[in-house]
Amino acid sequence: MTAVTLNKSELMAPAVMQTMQQRSLVIGAIGAVATIAGWFLAGSDAAKTGFFSAYLIGYMFWLGLALGCMAILMLYHLVGGKWGTVIRRILEAGMTTLPMMAILFIPIGLNLPKLYAWARPEELAKDPKLADLASSYLNPTGIWTRAVIYFAIWIVMAFLLSKWSSEQDTPAGGEKSTLRFRALSGPGLVIYSFSISFAVIDWVMSLQARWISTIYGFIFIVGEVLSAYCFVVIIERILTKRKPMAEYVTPKELNDHGNFMLTFVMLWTYFSFSQLLIIWAGNLPDEISWFVRRFNGGWGPVELFLALFHFAVPFALLLSKSLKRNARKLAFLASWLMFVRIVDIFWHVEPANFPTFHLSWVLFAVLAGMGGLWIWYFLRNLRSRPLLALYAPQTLKHLGDE
């Protein structure tokens, strides 16, 4: 290993990131205006349900991206490796968007009856079992209380991981923070897994409250991490075309990131198929109804699309070592997988309130508005610090081995 001298100014994000940040803000503002217009144009109860259904889809996607970044970061702090050193600051910038996502939850929390049958008194009067669920667990007070707990946990963990990382930009903070990262990341991954599983039960699975699946949370956990890896690969592709990251990211790291994408594509397939197999074999009315609704009314082709393009095609392509070492091709596949992740969330959420296929322009407005603001905030975070933690032991070892 050779001695390494790092210059903070030379490791800042390239100027193109500022341009992207400005454009993202414009897109986000236009999308936000269109989203607000969609709310005012939604006159009927069905239209308002459609609006909040679209909002929930967009929200779960962008929230999942932030949480997925935090999960990958904690995994890196536990196991180490060059694969995480070069993307660490991308992950940190993604997870520190969580305060914005906490604010964006408010419209959902204030409009629960528009989405959830358990929040509508007339539905409870017709279904005693649903009324029991509402009185014991699924009620506005419980939803708000648990949401505050979830976001408090996530934001505190993200704050600590980010704060300790900033300390590693000084010589005195290099080694000391490493032990703290490990002490938080082990329990943090467990806490993340439990908290997002319960959040998914509250916000997505309860759309059909009488349906239960013990695998459901794992499907979303894997989907969030996959989305985050895909997003990292896209940002990595932009950065590696320019200095300074062009000097530090090698085909070896790209291959590692492609392998992680392959792993989580397979995990998503395993959990999704296991859920289908177990519930279909059980053939219980309250459980099988969830799949019956999603296999009929025009939703079946969406499931076929997911089987082909969320698993079969990406799985085959990611077996190629040459593709995983090609930044441009890997970024193209990552972009496609992010789109398919949105389709997957759409398939989970939309059929709950619309038995026949339903796609509203509001969904595109929400994705653009929320996404533009999310990426603006992400790029703001990314541009605020060097792209590598200057005095982290992993960084010095990585660069010393070059």
Q: Is the dihedral of CA 347, 352, 355, 359 positive or negative?
A: negative
Nearest to 95 by CA among 120, 64, 125: 64
- The 10s digit of each residue's pLDDT in 296-312 is 999 999 999 999 999 99
Q: Evaluate whether 153 touches 208 at the Cβ level (below 8 Å).
A: no
**Residue 9 has what DSSP assignment?**
G
- The 10s digit of each residue's pLDDT in 25-78 is 999 999 999 999 999 998 888 899 999 999 999 999 999 999 999 999 999 999
Model-level pTM greater than 0.85?
A: yes
Q: What is the mean pLDDT of the chain?
A: 92
- The 10s digit of each residue's pLDDT in 157-179 is 999 999 999 988 887 766 667 78
Extents of the domains making up the chain: 8-400
pLDDT band at 2 (very low <50, low <70, confident <90, very high): very low
- The 10s digit of each residue's pLDDT in 353-391 is 999 999 999 999 999 999 999 999 999 999 999 998 888
The residues, any chain, with a CB within 8 Å of residue 261's CB and separated by 6 or more, are 226, 229, 230, 233, 314, 318, 330, 333, 334, 337
Look at residue 5 in the predicted model and tell me its pLDDT.
Answer: 56
Look at residue 176 in the predicted model and tell me its pLDDT.
Answer: 67
How many other CB atoms are found less than 10 A from the CB of residue 305? 14
CA distance linking residue 292 with residue 296, whole number of Å = 6
Inform me whether the pLDDT recorded for 1 exceeds 90: no
Look at residue 386 in the predicted model and tell me its pLDDT.
Answer: 92
SS3 letters across 71-85: HHHHHHHHHCCHHHH
CA 1 from centre of chain: 37
